[in-house]
A and B are shown apart, each in its own frame.
Chain A
Amino acid sequence: MMTEHKNIHNIASVQNRTDAVEAAFEKHGFKPAEFIEDFKHLAEEKWIPENGARVVAKAWVDPSFRKSLLTNGRQAILDMGLTMPAHHRHLVALENTSTQHNVICCTLCSCTAFSIIGLPPDWYKDLEYRARIVRESRTVLKEMGLDLPNDVEIRVWDTTTDTRYMVIPERPAHTSGWSEERLASIVSKDAMIGVARL
């Protein structure tokens, strides 16, 4: 019935194509339905930026944890009870300072430490961010609402391997004396990507 010619008027909707792949998985015994439910749960309730926010807050208040995080990020977050997929073998925490600002991206696809900082937002995976952030970092950040002073050096990190990065934002001055929990409540996904400051 269908030919292999790519007649653009004849392409099934992406929804139908998803249904087809799911049905083919089912037909060949891969039991997708249960996995999809589990995956939704992970995506919505486990791979959330609150994980990374806890990491950041702990690094702010606990110097020995900060040291472990900077030395071996993966081990430090595992010790907190957080998880990373097996293929993410290395986590590098990037500390912002008053003179250095870090920002992460993936120009080749959309790699992120998603189990720690949450699944990447739509714009992170989009063509504009991937094409421009490495080359026009200051301009792009400014367009996104982060106008960095000229004396702040920008460090862009392109996630081209299975090493993962997270930005440790600067602790805001007005948070002196706050509990770790309260500190975690102000740390956003965008700050851990490095397109926002706190």
Chain B
Amino acid sequence: MDGMHDMGGKQGFGRVRYSPEAKVFHEPWEVRANALYSLAVKLGIVNMDEYRYAIERMEPRHYLSASYYERSLTSVATLFVEKEIFTLHELEQMAQGAFPLSAPGVPGRKNLAMREEINLHDRVRVSSDFVAGHVRMPAYIRGKCGVVVGKSPAYPFPDAHAHGVEAENEPTFDVQFRSEDLWPHSTDSALVHVGVFHSYLEKVNVQF
């Protein structure tokens, strides 16, 4: 989905709030929120793609104003309510106030049925698809061309895995893009590498 979470290349943000002594956790509840998400994954109740998708489904104003760990907490609560393990009413009674959850999801999709063989150094184009559900293709590479510089072992296909859809595992490719191709005339010069699932890629046959 073209959600608020898809931050890469968004403009208008100021300086990174950086400190060399930056902390991982600031408040004790953050460690607990992180642990509860980790426990949900360990118990096999929630997989990583479901977890990420439930964060992406947060109402955009809530997403932007929430801290990282509040997003984790919202995702876990949403998924446990959706899976009918506990109810929103139960949570709100215990929290003594409203407990905003993420918006409902939409159906997922399977892998691309026909996936061309892709090898290192191949020139590839990223799909131009607009996907309503979970997808790990950042919008800034949609339809863009790059070169394959790495290949991973096969992973669950997120567009299916986040939605409980049966699908094949497939490799991802580290694709190298020129920043000038991604944001013409509006970027610092760099090589930008993105991990791209096989189903999001097609080969470009360079002809001279």
Residues of A within 8 A of B (CB): 1-7, 10-25, 27-28, 30, 32, 35-36, 39-40, 43, 87, 89-90, 92, 107-110, 118-123, 125-140, 143-145, 153-163, 188, 190, 195-196
Whether B34 contacts A39 by the Cβ 8 Å rule is yes
A131 surroundings in chain B (CB, below 8 A): 7-11, 13
Whether A108 contacts B155 by the Cβ 8 Å rule is no
Q: How far is the CB of A27 from chain B (nearest CB, A)?
A: 7
Whether B17 contacts A134 by the Cβ 8 Å rule is no
**A interface: dominant SS:** mixed
Whether A21 contacts B13 by the Cβ 8 Å rule is no
The listed residue with most A CB atoms (<10 A of its CB), out of B22, B90, B183, is: B22
Q: How far is the CB of B74 from chain A (nearest CB, A)?
A: 8
Whether B86 contacts A24 by the Cβ 8 Å rule is yes
Tell me whether B191 is interfacial, beta carbon within 8 Å: yes
Q: Which residue of B lies closest to A74 (CB)?
A: B153
B189 surroundings in chain A (CB, below 8 A): 138, 154
Whether A190 contacts B140 in the complex (CB less than 8 A), given A10-B97, A131-B10, comes out as: no
Whether A195 contacts B18 by the Cβ 8 Å rule is yes
Q: Which residue of B lies closest to A188 (CB)?
A: B20
Q: Of residues 180 to 206 in B, which have CB atoms within 8 Å of A's CB atoms? A: 182-183, 186-197
Interface string of B2-36 (1 = CB under 8 A from A): 00011111110111111110111111010111111
Whether B98 contacts A130 by the Cβ 8 Å rule is no
The complex places the Cα of A23 from the Cα of B91 at a distance, in Å, of: 9
Whether B99 contacts A20 by the Cβ 8 Å rule is yes
CB-CB nearest 10 A-B residue pairs:
A12-B97, A107-B8, A161-B195, A121-B22, A12-B95, A39-B35, A20-B94, A20-B95, A2-B92, A130-B7
**What are 7 A-to-B residue pairs whose CB atoms are below 8 Å?**
A2-B97, A17-B70, A19-B29, A24-B86, A39-B35, A158-B138, A162-B155
The complex places the Cα of A110 from the Cα of B19 at a distance, in Å, of: 17
The complex places the Cα of A150 from the Cα of B166 at a distance, in Å, of: 48
The complex places the Cα of A154 from the Cα of B31 at a distance, in Å, of: 34
Tell me whether B64 is interfacial, beta carbon within 8 Å: yes
The complex places the Cα of A146 from the Cα of B118 at a distance, in Å, of: 36
The complex places the Cα of A135 from the Cα of B14 at a distance, in Å, of: 13
Whether A128 contacts B17 by the Cβ 8 Å rule is yes
Whether A43 contacts B7 by the Cβ 8 Å rule is no
Tell me whether B100 is interfacial, beta carbon within 8 Å: yes
The complex places the Cα of A136 from the Cα of B35 at a distance, in Å, of: 34
A138 surroundings in chain B (CB, below 8 A): 188-190
The complex places the Cα of A135 from the Cα of B26 at a distance, in Å, of: 29
Tell me whether B136 is interfacial, beta carbon within 8 Å: yes
Q: How far is the CB of B104 from chain A (nearest CB, A)?
A: 13
Tell me whether B167 is interfacial, beta carbon within 8 Å: no
Q: How far is the CB of B185 from chain A (nearest CB, A)?
A: 12
Interface string of B97-123 (1 = CB under 8 A from A): 111100000000000000000000000
The complex places the Cα of A110 from the Cα of B38 at a distance, in Å, of: 15
